[in-house]
Structure 1
Amino acid sequence: MSSFPRYSAHIGYLFADLPFEQRIAAARSAGFSAIEHPSPYAVPADELAVLLRAVALPYVQFGLRSGNAAHGEKGIAIFPDRRDEFRSNLFEGLGYAEATGVRMIHVMAGVLSAEQQKPEHRECYIDNLLLAADEGEKRGIRIIIEAMSSATVPNYFLPTAASAKDAIEQMGHRSLGLLLDIFHTVAAGDDPIATIHDCRQLIAHVHIADHPGRHEPGSGAINYDAVRSALGDIGYGGYIGCEYVPAGKTVEGLDWMKYPA
């Protein structure tokens, strides 16, 4: 595989029929260059570090604990009454990242309708992100944020890449970066190529899945040849995270990695 693109297997979606611990080796065998998972905390950090060393794969990024998923929570960073919980999650996540060699942590904002949003929610979000960026910088860990389209995650605080870009630029912290999700970009009605160029200075990580369907590249309407070209044009050298739902068995749908999608 060439040095670009380098694909990271999101093992929350890929190889999901295997126990978590076996997904890492499966990703290596399938030709992925790295792995990622949003919430690895069920596996002790020292055990995960051993698994990663055994297959010589880096763990690219994971997220802070993001609240109660069963209640639809997607992060707590915007909620003033949960600052202490956020701070506890932050230091737990930083410690886990240090123990496993992870160099990016995703901080989810939260879900709140536009009618409920008040200035203090954005103020809390900014304060929490700046704290995370300061603490991450001390450890060589970058903090990343992601937009999630309203069509997929209703009322997420950052519904477009432009809104995430604005937040990062408002804070102006060098340890903050953008996780650009191509699926969410298209689901929000935005042009992924224009978005890549518009956000070129901020992109720290990329997620892909086709649209509609959220399956493998080549299964929907997104031109992934153009996406890869645009990422090459801006000099993006990071990993491309494969955060898609396999239409069948993961390994049966990987031809897109070898041939133009």
Structure 2
Amino acid sequence: MKLAANLTLLYPGLPLEERIALAERDGFEGVEILFPYDITPRTLHGLLKRHGLTLALINTPPGPGGEKGLACLPGREEEFRRAMQAALDICQETGCRIVHAMAGMPGRNADRHACRRTLVENLRLAAPLAAKAGVALTLEALNRLDMPGYFYYLPEQAVDIIREVGEDAVRLQFDLYHCQREGLDLVSTLHAVWPWVRHVQFAHPQGRHEPDLSDPQVKAALRWLVCEGYAGWVGCEYVPREDARSGLAWRSSYDALLRKERS
């Protein structure tokens, strides 16, 4: 359960090269970059290699208007195909093995059945390409307070889509933050969707700041993951209260919890 710094949120306002260097300085082994599409894949690979970091996760590109994904939007299939190929090009160059395939926000008056069909069909077409590249496509439920109108807001809704797609390359991205914002019990929710979980993220449910390792739900969820043998990344997708480095004290509690559960 190695930690991956989310460079999009942890080090805001800095050039990507500086953010990558700061992640190395702060002792991270991996990074998440939500939208690494402003530089070439080869340049990104060089930066990661220079600093000894693994690219743990990226998102598919947003739509041209900053839309939160395209995968469920009827009539936008060709745009989604190009977006997916751009993500897979980065994976091929950098060795990234997880792409969050963002579903999108269809709008209040959209035909949700048509949106679901579009999402499933897009994922069925993309999954073999991802599998050939050794990449998993993840779906992530985004809470309604922060992301009203996103196509799914509960992990079990995303899993329902995954089951319908029926491809091993399509898995679940489980974010403790979004679950807590929806008022879900973390352990029982994890238990229900565990066979599909491929990537985990966390943040404090209030303000999306540094995770609180004294929170009983968070502690129980992390212990559960250790006991179940989760060996993937845990993404630190949060906004620092001040600067990233001064807010990293929580990592000592994280390390202590993992040592205790593994002993």
TM-score by length of structure 2 reads 0.92
Per the alignment, residue 170 of structure 1 pairs with 164
Tell me the matched-pair count.
255
1:1-261 to 2 correspondences below 5 Å: 5-68=1-64, 70=66, 73-113=67-107, 115-218=109-212, 223-260=217-254
- The one-letter amino acid paired with 1:106 is H
CA RMSD of aligned residues (A): 1.7
Task: List alignment gaps of at least 5 residues for structure 2.
Answer: 258-263
Kept in 1, the 8 Å contact 2:187–2:217? The answer is no
Judge conservation of contact 1:90–1:132 (CA < 8 Å) in 2: yes
Q: Secondary structure at the match of 1:201?
A: helix
Q: CA deviation at 1:69?
A: 5.3
Shift of 1:176: 0.8
Distance in 1 between the 2:74 and 2:106 partners? 13
Cα deviation, residue 90, structure 1: 1.3
Q: Distance in 2 between matches of 1:69 and 1:240?
A: 30
Q: Distance in 2 between matches of 1:163 and 1:220?
A: 29
Q: Secondary structure at the match of 2:4?
A: strand
Q: Relative to total residues, which structure has the larger helix share, 1 or 2?
A: 2
Preserved contact between residue 213 and residue 253 of structure 2 (Cα < 8 Å): no
Unaligned runs of 5+ in 1: none
The SS at the match of 2:173 is strand
Deviation by residue 1:12-51 (Cα, 9 ceiling, x = unmatched) = 0112243211111211111112001110010211111111
Relative to structure 1, the CA distance from residue 243 to residue 222 in structure 2 (aligned partners, 3 Å threshold; closer, same or farther) is: farther
Q: Percent identity between the aligned chains?
A: 32
CA separation in 1, counterparts of 2:109 and 2:177?
26
Amino acid at match of 1:255: A
Aligned residues of 2:186 and 2:217 also touching (Cα < 8 A): no
- Tell me the CA shift for residue 118 of structure 1: 3.1
TM-score (norm 1): 0.93
Per-residue deviation, 1:127? 0.5
In structure 1, distance between residues paired with 2:109 and 2:184: 24
* Structure 2 CA distance for partners of 1:190 and 1:152, relative to 1, 3 Å: same
Q: Deviations over 1:96-134 (max 9, x none)?
A: 210111111111101134542332111000011111111
